[in-house]
Amino acid sequence: MTAVREMVDPVPGAAAPHLPAQPDLVQLLTPEGERVEHPEYSLDVTDEELRSLYRDLALVRRWDVEATALQRQGELGIWASLQGQEAAQIGAGRALGEADMAFPTYREHGVAWTRGVDPLDVISLFRGNDLGGWDPVATRFNLYTVVIGAQCLHATGYAMGIQRDTADAAAIAFLGDGATSQGEVNEAFIWAATFDAPVVFFCQNNQYAISVPIERQSKVPLFQRAAGFGFPGVRVDGNDVLAVLAVTRAALARAREGSGPTFIEAFTYRMGAHTTSDDPTRYRLADELEEWKLRDPIARLKAHLSRSGKADAEFFAGVDAEGDELAARIRKGTLEMPDPAGTEMFDHVYAEQTEEIAAQRAAFLAYQEGFEK
């Protein structure tokens, strides 16, 4: 019987033939689960904090798997999976302070989790029941933004407001690698740099802008673009929750102290489809996916916890059971979710009702009454 040796590249993507060389990557936890040090970024975490991070990662993935299944069964209109990007989102989300404000795209379910957003309030958006069921002020987590890159301008404007209020807070904008080609994103960089706005631009480079690979999007690593705008950029192993936590904490602290914006490139991989309407087998090879599975963010933290004796089988079984309970609650809540009244589309267009919207609402009601018997 031939022995099989599992080879894991210590720097994600460094030896991948479809990717350029990947320099300057911050890593604190190798794919094998070994803790390493970095000269610029250190992180002191307790055993309990490590177990809590693992719980976050595992439960968010369980939510994601259940939501994907619900969409495949016709219960959701669409779903944008975060599988593979859990460490990037949980690490960044747990780095946020209570007063900090997050501006997501449409995939930041992990960040939503860290801000206390109920998964069903996200599910209702993808089911078409509302435009987002959570309170952005209470959660400090803005509503999802589908217009690519627009949230970077929102975050920059919010950060400039923080400056004028002299508040001890920062804003963070989440974006993907494809969004860096958008005009709104580059405009946000210019404004943020010019005004030293307390904002962090957190880019999850998951290697594809839908179907366009990163090497066709940029001739240089994305984090190096920040220098052209006049603020620092850093690349972090996006599958290492500890490194992401350390780097994001440092960038947010820098923003709060008045030193301006930072661009973080979380080098990660989208394990699933862009959305449930996408077929990734048409533009990437199965070998590539298998290569990245060896760098799975949950598996590496589990390996560290197990080998270091910081978590046992009972702990992992408990998390799995909690995940099953969460999935059951999500499924039950989704299937029992009431359809919204048609008039709700008129209720929150403006802070106060206008005559024009009121007239449209009345016309809609009159039209609907024509079908009633």
CATH number assigned to the domain comprising residue 257: 3.40.50.970
* pLDDT exceeds cutoff 70 at 21: no
Tens digit of each residue's pLDDT (9 = 90 or more) over 300-351:
999 999 999 999 999 999 999 999 999 999 999 999 999 888 898 898 889 8
How far, in Å, CA of 348 to CA of 344, rounded? 7
| 271 to 27, 71, 104, 235, 283: CA distances (angstroms) | 20, 17, 20, 20, 13
Are 241 and 297 a contacting pair, CB within 8 Å? yes
Q: Are residues 371 and 243 in the same domain?
A: no
Tokens of residue 50, six digits:
């490590």
Name 360's Cβ contacts closer than 8 Å, sequence gap at least 6. 346
Q: Are residues 368 and 228 in the same domain?
A: no
Q: Are residues 285 and 185 in the same domain?
A: yes
Q: How far is CA 320 from the centre of its chain?
A: 22
Q: Are residues 197 and 234 in the same domain?
A: yes
Name 272's Cβ contacts closer than 8 Å, sequence gap at least 6. 68, 81, 83, 84, 280
Q: Are residues 298 and 265 in the same domain?
A: yes
Q: Which amino acid is at 250?
A: A
How far, in Å, CA of 39 to CA of 357, rounded? 58
Q: Which amino acid is at 322?
A: E
| pLDDT score at 23 | 56
Q: What are phi and psi of 121, to 5 degrees?
A: -70, -25
Q: Are residues 281 and 357 in the same domain?
A: no
Tens digit of each residue's pLDDT (9 = 90 or more) over 60-105:
999 999 999 999 999 999 999 999 999 999 999 999 999 999 999 9
| pLDDT score at 373 | 57
- DSSP label at 214? G
Which helix (H) or strand (E) covers residue 212, if one does? Answer: strand 212-213
Q: Are residues 250 and 361 in the same domain?
A: no
Are 92 and 104 a contacting pair, CB within 8 Å? no
Q: Are residues 127 and 217 in the same domain?
A: yes
Q: Are residues 334 and 285 in the same domain?
A: yes
| pLDDT score at 330 | 98
How far, in Å, CA of 146 to CA of 215, rounded? 24
Q: Are residues 175 and 264 in the same domain?
A: yes
| pLDDT score at 271 | 86
Q: Are residues 358 and 310 in the same domain?
A: no
Residues annotated as catalytic (active site), given as ranges = 270, 274, 283
Residue 359 three-state SS = helix
Looking up tokens 């595992």 gives 58
36/12: higher pLDDT: 36
Tens digit of each residue's pLDDT (9 = 90 or more) over 166-194:
999 999 999 999 999 999 999 999 999 99
Q: Domain span at residue 363?
A: 346-373
Number of domains composing the chain: 2
Kindly provide the residue ranges of all beta strands, DSSP E only, lying in 79-120, ordered along the sequence: 101-103
